[in-house]
Amino acid sequence: MDPVRPYTEVLDRLKSAGLRPTRQRLALAKLLADSGDRHITAEQLHDEAQRAGVRVSLATVYNTLHQFTAAGLLREVVVEAGRSYFDTNTSNHHHFFHQDRGELVDIPAGAVTVSELPVAPEGSAIESVHVVVRIRDDAN
């Protein structure tokens, strides 16, 4: 809110995650925060950083995405082999996966309901419940 210190919020989040506010982390956090809800891969974020003139290595993008995920700032979503998406929306929600385009899209809250939850097998506890609705271009 204070135009003189535009990074205050991101700074606080990094601090409370025990992460030093480096140039690279601040820039990546800003790119992620400024773009609304998204589902982005490491390579995509790396490209985006390059285009924005931010010099950062792909290794650092991977490190940062995992650190942000561990800190609860991102959520990792896997729906196809060999590719991880990072979701800027960390709330519990489900996804459409558009198989023709390789695109993840949030399912609006309430549009899908898991009404009966299974009991976790003996000795284990449920950590998350995720519904993936695979869709294809309509054959109309």
Compute the distance between CA of residue 58 and CA of residue 60 in angstroms, rounded to an integer.
5
Q: Taking CB under 7 A as the rule, does residue 9 contact DNA?
A: no
Token pair 């998204």 in the structure block, residue: 38
Stretch that binds its own copies, among 9-17, 43-51, 56-64, 97-105 (CB under 8 A): 97-105
Token pair 């993936």 in the structure block, residue: 132
Which of Zn ion, DNA, its own copies, none binds 106 (CB below 5-8 Å, type-dependent)? Zn ion
Among the listed residues 59, 61, 5, the one whose alpha carbon sits nearest the alpha carbon of residue 31: 61
Q: How far is the CB of 89 from DNA (least distance, A)?
A: 18
Stretch that binds its own copies, among 9-17, 25-33, 67-75, 101-109 (CB under 8 A): 101-109
Which of residues 86 and 96 has its CB atom nearest to DNA in the complex? 86
Chain centroid to Cα 90, Å, comes to 7
Task: State residue 29 phi and psi, 5-degree precision.
Answer: -60, -40
Q: Taking CB under 8 A as the rule, does residue 107 contact its own copies?
A: yes
Question: In the window 30-89, what residues touch DNA (CB under 7 A)?
Answer: 41-43, 55-60, 62-64, 66, 81-84
Among the listed residues 85, 108, 102, the one whose alpha carbon sits nearest the alpha carbon of residue 137: 102
Q: How far is the CB of 139 from its own copies (least distance, A)?
A: 7
